[in-house]
Amino acid sequence: MKLPIIAVLSISILSLSSCGGAKTTTTEPVEDVQLEKPRNTALEWSAASSDALYLHRQLFGLAKDRLEGIINSGKMNQAVFIDASFLLLPQATTYQYFEVYRDPFDGFSPQEIFEFARYEFDATAMEFLRYCIKNGIEVLLTSSEMDSRIILEQLMKQNISVQGSIIDGEARYGRYSNNITLSEYAQQDRLALLLTTSLGEATAYTGMGNPKSVEVDEIYKRFGSKVILFPNPTFNRK
């Protein structure tokens, strides 16, 4: 008399197993989600703020005052190194290039930005270059000749003779470079000024790379008279 009960229990267990183990599958398409590019609010500030433009002009004024003192001292065969990408070209255009068209961490060359700027230069920077040439100060870019060829050609058309630098290894403009030419001029006591936007690009002169916060006082005491650092928020994306 127990057999019917066992049969009923077996059927019930099988029914429960089939219900519990069944899985539903969906064939709905997976939608691609486009990640929004992180905003660089500091970059936006530099591209549009009158404060940023004021700092830019003020630091060029400081550079001119420092250079005037060197010229008046009678020191001969002096040279100025200047960052082409962030100082020689229009400031707003340079920052717009990175904000809209390119991630600076992907690498770039100064002449790419120059083409984007439609072969225009920053007016304050050009005034400074003419002052250098007029007073017999040699001008060199912190970028290589290969990466700055078009810039050099356009400057020559305006009777401004400028040279590029020899860079050892890969140049990461705006962050770091091992500038052989800068090192040679410093060793020969021919470096009047270095106008840059990154202490990393001054490494060949200072030997300190990108210094830690605790090293800033030391690097300023030793090199502050010749290294003029302009603000550059391009790589400070939050």
Q: What percentage of the chain has pLDDT greater than the value 90? A: 49
Q: What is the per-residue pLDDT across 131-146, written as a single tens digit (0 to 9) for each? A: 999 999 999 999 999 9
CA distance 182 to 99: 30
Handedness of CA 19, 22, 26, 32 (dihedral sign): positive
Q: What is the per-residue pLDDT across 189-237, written as a single tens digit (0 to 9) for each? A: 999 999 999 888 999 999 876 767 668 888 899 999 999 999 887 776 4
> 3-class DSSP state for residue 60?
helix
Using alpha carbons, select from 190, 198, 205, 203 the residue that is nearest to residue 228.
Answer: 198
Which H or E run contains 126? Answer: helix 123-134
Q: Mean pLDDT for the chain? A: 82
Asked whether the predicted pLDDT for residue 171 surpasses 70, the reply is yes
- What are residue 193's DSSP bridge partners? 80
Domain ranges across the chain: 41-229
What is the rounded average pLDDT of the residues 58-87? 95
Identify the band that residue 3 occupies on the pLDDT scale cut at 50, 70 and 90. Answer: very low
**Tokens in use for 144?**
């290589």
Using alpha carbons, select from 142, 212, 152 the residue that is nearest to residue 173.
Answer: 142
Q: Considering the domain 41-229 in this protein, what is its CATH number?
A: 3.40.50.1000
